[in-house]
Chain A
Amino acid sequence: MAKTEFLEKYLLYELEDIVGEENIVIDRAEMDAQSLDVWWVTRFLLSKETEIPKPLAIVFPRSTQEVVRLVKFANEHRIPLIPRGGGAGDVGGALPINGGIVVDMMKMDKIVALNERSLTVRVQPGIIQNDLEEYLNRKGYTTNHLPASIMTSAVGGFIGTNGTGVLSSRYGKMTDLVHQITVVLPTGRVFESLPVSRHSTGPDYSRLFFGAEGTFGIVTEAVCKIFPLPETRSFATFLLPGLSEGIEAGRRIMVTGLNPSVMRLYDEKDTNHILKDQFGLKESGSVLLIGFDGYRKIVKAQEEVAYGILESRAGRNLGEQTARAWWEDRYKSYYPPNDYIYYPWMMAVMDTVAPYEDIERIYAEMKMAVEEGFKEHQAEFHAHFSHWYDWGTSFYPSFLLKSYPEDEAEALRLYTRIVTACARAAIHHGGVLNEHHGIGLRLGSMMKEIYGDGYELAQTIKRSLDPCNIMNPGKLGLGD
């Protein structure tokens, strides 16, 4: 008897006892609707013959205890569990490629407690970030974690991918924004990390789960940092002569100790578009948007120094308008025109991060890899640099093909070749596979390449934590 039939006939009753009948879904329509994330491959396959992998069932646990019981059930029956949040990833991380049960965390969406003294909020992992943000805003606070997918994605997913929001240059990634997590380990034990994330009480084991993409356990609660809403936010738009000048100006701003909340530097291709569309300018160069937030006096002082640095690199201040307009519409980038992320245009975002001494070279290599390497397909490449640190920066490149082979296998092969070429351009010149979208399926095969023999550490951890290999198997390059 196939596992599906077995599940339906016998195991479903066990699942009902764990989460309740109303929290189990086995209908094809829901599985189809959940099968699409933002990955081009799943969108491409939507209209093709190939079926996107479907789970045996989708379950919605409502508590840590239910997750524990689910995990024990999965171990007993050797059934994979695939944790799922908002389903807004672009790497296939929540696809049930080995079958199993999707553990949809979206019914665990409570705000458990707000602590205004220590500036924390305790939440369940399925809370949509914008719901959390709206609640906090009413109280005078913010998470300062504002990714473009804020209206879709959940806290658990951000932890799973160690995500980054648009204000990360000042406020950091999820590892910087979460104090404590509760995780159900793949054996069903519960791990609650220490109440603070900076200590000398052994290694900070909680960090193991940031970026683990559900392969090491299921997060069931998190204590996140919150911040008072700033007195002011300021924005300015500068035009630098070129990308190099822009990167150098950005570097100087960061290493000087200034704290811009936002810096976005666009390469020449994107700049031409911005300048023409919004300023009616036929100039060339690199546009840089810069923003500060906080007390008015401090913002003004920082602006003065930062603008001086930009002007010293021949930057020209074009005013507030474009930068503020970007801020007002910042979530719109998640929803580019339908034909951009939809069949038939092939595209992917290949964000990476590297130290300053390497980042420009990586950009050049990646650009060449796409534009020269796939010239016959008229592949396009453009990028902007965001998420700046005092040691380096990330850039957010996209490749785009407006036409590609009709044949499904040929198209997927081409896609994989371009992704691999971009990834290697990064990892062979001091960068990493990804900055904040995660690895999932898209880049899993390259994890051993970037880590080399050192990846044995990750595999050892995985084997130790998950002896039955039930926790999101096949992802993160950890093997089946």
Chain B
Amino acid sequence: MCRYRNPGFIATKLESVTPHGHGILLSEIDSGKRKWSAEIVDKIYQSPLGGECRQDCAYNWPEDEMTRHARAEIVNVQWAPQVVRGIAESIRTYGTPFGERNGWAKAHGGSSAGKGAEVLFLSGDAAEHLQPGILNAVSGLLDLFGVRWAAMENESPSGATLFDLGFVEEARRAASRLADQISRRKPTTIVTTCPHTLRALREFFPQWGVELPRGIDLLHTSEFFLRLLKEQAAGSFADPGVDRIAYHDCAELGRKLGVFQPPREIVSRITGKAPIEFHRCREKSGSSGAGSSMFLTHPQLSVRIAQKTLEGIPEPGAELLVTGCPTCKTTFQRALEATQSATGVIDVSELLAGALMPQTRTRSSKGGKSQ
């Protein structure tokens, strides 16, 4: 059943955070045997919604969808926990969950800011606060490749975070605002470093009836930069300086969107060999613990989940872990710092930027923000 790969169970051994446990609790509420309580609600929010359980489920049970629906009900009956309401309020007010607006785009608007850029870069609602180094790496690469690109000041959130937390209508409204912003800019391509934003654009927007202009390419940074590497001569790659590099498949990017190969190919092109694979990878990849804002709602659990996933790197381990998601990178950094590991964590864009522009190279700091 679902205990085996459920990230919450792996980290805590608690039944109540598994889909099985959620099902039991929700059945009791549905039958009237129990009422909503802070305790039960907290259990429902202890899931990164990565859909990992489904990979080994004989019936492909959509456990993440079940939990998401439960959260919508929790919000509806006004039982959402304080921390969750706080995140929603912050997104409402500032466009990010962190109690402050993004300001990066104002200073780094892009080579064609306001001048009909072909490529619109979306940073998502977490990268600037948690991993500004990734944004700097991306902008450097876009300029290096001569892309006519722009970022948006006051980029609206995609709604994905709100949707995960149960604020369904607010998610739709946020998505509509982002779609309007995009429509006004008329890009041919949207590139984002945030897999959650990408999933919203590709999957949730159509579900919510939010339309984007036709024909826009929606790409993760790894997909876009791989395309550029294939189309252009980018110069030689500087040696990354480490031998054992592993790649982690983010749930949103990999399992949900099927983007497995581009980040791997970037690593291979730089290092001359394929990255080290976790014992469970691709569709079966373990959780980073960051999903569904758990790095904010349940930070300790989030780190514990990341630590358990890191145990899936084959011996003798990795010197560097490459990810494709700013929040995954954050939780892995925190997990590695907690164990005083020497392994570094880096986003695939940062790895590429460091290989093509060694003067700008960043090595992952442990726990805090990257440079």
Chain A interfacial positions (CB closer than 8 Å to B)? 25, 27-30, 32-36, 46-47, 49, 60, 86-88, 104, 106-107, 109, 126, 128, 130-131, 134, 138, 149, 151-152, 329, 331-332, 334-335, 337-338
Contact = CB atoms under 8 A, between A and B. Distances in A.
A334 B13 contact: no
A33 B3 contact: no
Contacts of B24: 32-33, 35-36, 46
B33 A47 contact: yes
Given A28-B39, A29-B40, A329 B33 contact: no
A32 B25 contact: yes
Given A28-B37, A32-B28, A149-B1, 8 more contacts: A29-B16, A29-B42, A151-B3, A151-B56, A152-B3, A152-B4, A335-B57, A337-B59
B3 A46 contact: no
Contacts of A106: 13
B317 to A, nearest CB: 15
A35 B21 CA distance: 10
B31 A46 contact: yes
* 3 cross-chain pairs, A with B, having the tightest CB-CB distances, nearest first: A33-B21, A151-B4, A33-B16
A235 B218 CA distance: 47
B27 interface: yes
Interface of B: 1-5, 13-16, 18, 20-21, 24-25, 27-28, 31, 33-34, 37, 39-40, 42-43, 56-59, 279
A242 B28 CA distance: 45
A30 B27 contact: no
Contacts of B31: 46-47
Contacts of B42: 29
A27 B39 contact: yes
Contact of B3 (A29, A86, A331): A86
Given A29-B43, A138-B279, A151 B1 contact: yes
A87 B1 CA distance: 11
Nearest to A38: B1
A277 B28 CA distance: 36
A29 B39 contact: yes
B3 A30 contact: no
Nearest to A149: B1
A86 B21 CA distance: 13
Contacts of B4: 128, 130-131, 151-152
A88 to B, nearest CB: 7
B14 A30 contact: yes
8 contacts: A27-B16, A29-B21, A32-B24, A33-B16, A46-B24, A138-B279, A151-B3, A152-B1
Contact of A33 (B20, B33, B58, B279): B20
Contacts of A86: 3
A203 B248 CA distance: 52
Given A33-B24, A151-B1, A332 B39 contact: no
A149 B20 CA distance: 14
A28 B34 CA distance: 10
Nearest to A87: B15
Contacts of B16: 27, 29-30, 32-34
B3 A128 contact: yes
A138 B314 CA distance: 10
Given A104-B13, A107-B13, A29 B25 contact: yes
Contacts of A49: 33
A281 B115 CA distance: 69
A151 B2 CA distance: 7
